[in-house]
Amino acid sequence: MKKIFLTILIFIAALQLNAQQNYELNTGWLCKNIQEVKESGSQLSNPIFATNNWMIATVPGTVLTTLLNNKKVPDPFYGMNNEKIPDVYNTGNDYYTYWFIKDFTEKAKGDDQVWLKFRGINYKADVFLNGKKLTEKPIEGMFLRSEFNITKALAKDGKNRLAVIVYPPDFPGNPNGGQGGDGTIAKNLTTQYTAGWDWIQPMRDRNTGIWDKVAIEKTHGINLKNPHVITLVPGKRLPNVKQAPVTLKVSVEAENPTDKPISGVLKYEIGGITVTQTATIAAHSNKEVKFLDMGLSNPKLWWPNGYGAQNLYDFSINFVAGKKILDTEKLKIGIRQIDNVWNAQTKSMEAMVNGQKIFIKGGNWIISDAMLRFSDARYDAEVRYHKDMNLNLIRIWGGALLERPEFYQACDKYGLLVFQDFWFSGDCNGRWVDPMKKEDQWTRRKYPDNHQLVLSAMEDQIKMIRNHASLAFWCGGNEITPPDDILNPLKNDILPRLDGTRMLFDFSNSDKMSYNSIGGNGDGPYGIQDTKTFWGTKTYPYNSEVGSVGLGDYVSLERFMPDKNLIQPEGKQLDSVWEYHKYIAYDNHIDAYGKPKNAKDFAMKAQLVNYNQYRALMEGFSNEMWNWYTGSIIWKTQNPWTALRGQMYDYYLDPNACLYGLRKGAEPLHVMMNPLDSMVTVVNNGFTIQNNLMVQAKAFDMNGKEYFYSQVFNSVEPSSVRRFFPLNEFLKKLDKKEGVFVSLRILKEKDNVLSDNLYWLPGKDGNYVGLQKMKSAPLKADARFVTGHKVAITLSNAKGNPIAFFNRVALINSTTGKRILPTFFDDNYVSVLPGENRTITAEYTGKPENIAVEVYGWNVEAQKIKIGK
């Protein structure tokens, strides 16, 4: 019996192996500048051509990445190094035009069909294999997949040579300091930010290169492509209950490149259910095959972060002829339905998932890395940080790209809805009069030059990512629509035909998304604000971009600033590196904590401002949930370059206090105090009523003395805001001239803390005089390993001490003192009340050795702690 079972397993494994072989060509590439190459593509792609003096190339990657990896240029993210790298606008395109060569082994036997796939080349390319040109005309456009059937071009001995010449964008644009430089970068279908923006300096090669994955796929006759799975979830659902049935609508393209028709059975499997559909694919044709609708009983639903689990199903679809699998496609499917309704109260769109309204707490995303050095691990870490901020949406800004499937996989995993812009921006595409731009607004409104190319790329990229549960909304462009002959086909044909389940916003601050009744651009503001503004000033009802500062701490600054430039910014005369890296002034907000002594002191005090800014931002919007707002999207949550603004963590994946202030303010169940009237308020973002909540309010002076005010039982309805009691009179009686702490908590039975929020209030003159005079708190710290890659750090503050205020915890290498990155904390920049302790869990990736814990705070001396078992 065991032998029979083993034989069956071996047969199944062999069947799957023979059905499809798919691998990436991501090592062994060589390259050379076009100016150094005299031979033709046919000669270069001949395996006998010698490549002894060619440079090792990084593929996938940009030319600039290859040059950096070969130490031909300095790190453009460090100091002023970017100024030392020649810009393509000045050198001419040949300077960054490169030949790429790759040898690989592959044969085709019997009915094998072998496919060469490029997922992205910027900007134009010709492709040669074994002396033959594969491209009838150059590949064009950064956002377009390319596929070649190379079966007949493969060498009989299996030793093959691929040669690809890659040209920069036709119009690299003058990087004159404008948003997108002189704007002409947008004449191409490429990333606009590469000519420079207000958060980045120009990328000198404009992202030229084979920047995305190259793969070989082997099939047997039939090539399955672009499967499409739509999930319909009727009614209003709740997580963690038995679910009514849902409907799946499935289709797939089947291509037959052979000379004969092929008949067989298309079969897909999900949740233990198999569905089949017979099909005949004519010779040299591509056919979309639709299955009959399938009902799935008691499904495990996918929910956004904070609302339920992110359940995902394995989904596979096969083409079977006889007993042979000709091809297979595999996906991860999340079952959910996303809808939008107009909220007449707020005059903005309200997002719904599985019939439940979702208050949008979002962050704007540019791109993971400005030099396109993407990896699954980096995507996972960055998206996880957004989950840790208690956000439920990421918006992909239109001046970059349509994000990669690996990004979407991370969003599926962590429950981040995605608002995906297409490749347009108001800055480059003509919304405003702009003296930095080369051409007038009417001309810029027609960018890019090749509209048909844009439509083709839209079709292709929609097919690439449409199956991801996290993909929630499409958007025509950032702060502007595409030209009408692009927008109308997208709206009226392409999306209804290829998707049909997601809303398209014409542009990111369209009145159909968020009605602009107050004038202005429809988004922002972007600079630092008085925290009361977030509570008291009504802004756009579904603000696509609202943000503040985001300076990293001193350790972060040290990573990309030379020692001589680590000078605290003062007044309008900035150090050159601070200015080059786009510093936004903190004005007098830092001075309220005492005039900084140096850059290290400045960076520490900036974290206090960071925390308050983003906590207040999300609290203020949440306070008016469904009354003024249906959501807000922060500008911005991350940087793909070493910029000094708008980031919850730095380029090196080291979080700052912005992340934890935002995490606090965006808690699903959260207690907070309105700075305008001191009203203690609870926000419940969940789908169920919260009963028997005890809301507690206390105050502490700078010496740690406690002043109890009240604790009250009450309930909070689902997805609602409830006011409890004001603290004005209580705080007036304290009459603390130098400031006071306010501690708010939500407690359940046995004093289980559901929400804990500590405010530090200034003295009567608006300055934090009391903080500046605080006595030190001898904080006791203990750390131990727990399951997996987790460390539990317990901070204890004895009775009689002042509050141990604003403590930063880091995992470090005990030998070098360097931080271990990324590390994910369930809280940070924490304060410990007298007589209490706090336990923080830190999780790291990989297997770093010599781990220790570092703790320091406002009034806590830095200490290094060994980790126990």
**Catalytic residue positions?**
479, 545
Instruction: Please name which of 53, 147, 157 lies closest in space to residue 99, comparing C-alpha atoms.
Output: 53
Q: Identify the burial level of 458 via C-beta atoms within 10 angstroms of its C-beta, where 0-12 means exposed, 13-18 middle and 19 or more buried.
A: buried
Q: 3-state class of 436 per DSSP? A: coil
Q: Identify the burial level of 51 via C-beta atoms within 10 angstroms of its C-beta, where 0-12 means exposed, 13-18 middle and 19 or more buried.
A: middle
Three-state SS annotation for 166-179 = EECCCCCCCCCCCC
Cβ–Cβ < 8 Å for 253, 226: yes
Residues 6+ apart with CB under 8 A from 116: 127, 129, 134, 147, 148, 150, 162, 214, 215, 216
Distance CA(625)–CA(345), nearest Å, equals 11
Tokens of 529: 């604000």
Residues 6+ apart with CB under 8 A from 664: 611, 615, 670, 757
Distance CA(667)–CA(390), nearest Å, equals 6
Q: 3-state class of 553 per DSSP? A: coil
Cβ–Cβ < 8 Å for 502, 472: yes
Helix, strand, coil percentages, rounded to 5, for the chain: 20, 35, 45
Distances (CA, A) of 495 to 454, 462, 488: 14, 8, 10
Distance CA(209)–CA(125), nearest Å, equals 9
The DSSP bridge pattern shows strands 790-797 and 246-256 to be unpaired
| HSE-up (13 A, CA, CB side) for residue 503 | 23
| HSE-up (13 A, CA, CB side) for residue 388 | 26
What one-letter code names the amino acid at 377?
Answer: A
Instruction: Please name which of 521, 492, 516 lies closest in space to residue 504, comparing C-alpha atoms.
Output: 492
Residue that is written with structure tokens 């001193």 in the block: 554
Strand order in the sheet with 542-546: 503-505, 471-475, 417-421, 393-396, 360-365, 631-634, 542-546
CA triplet 644, 647, 653: central angle to 5 degrees? 100
Cβ–Cβ < 8 Å for 546, 578: no
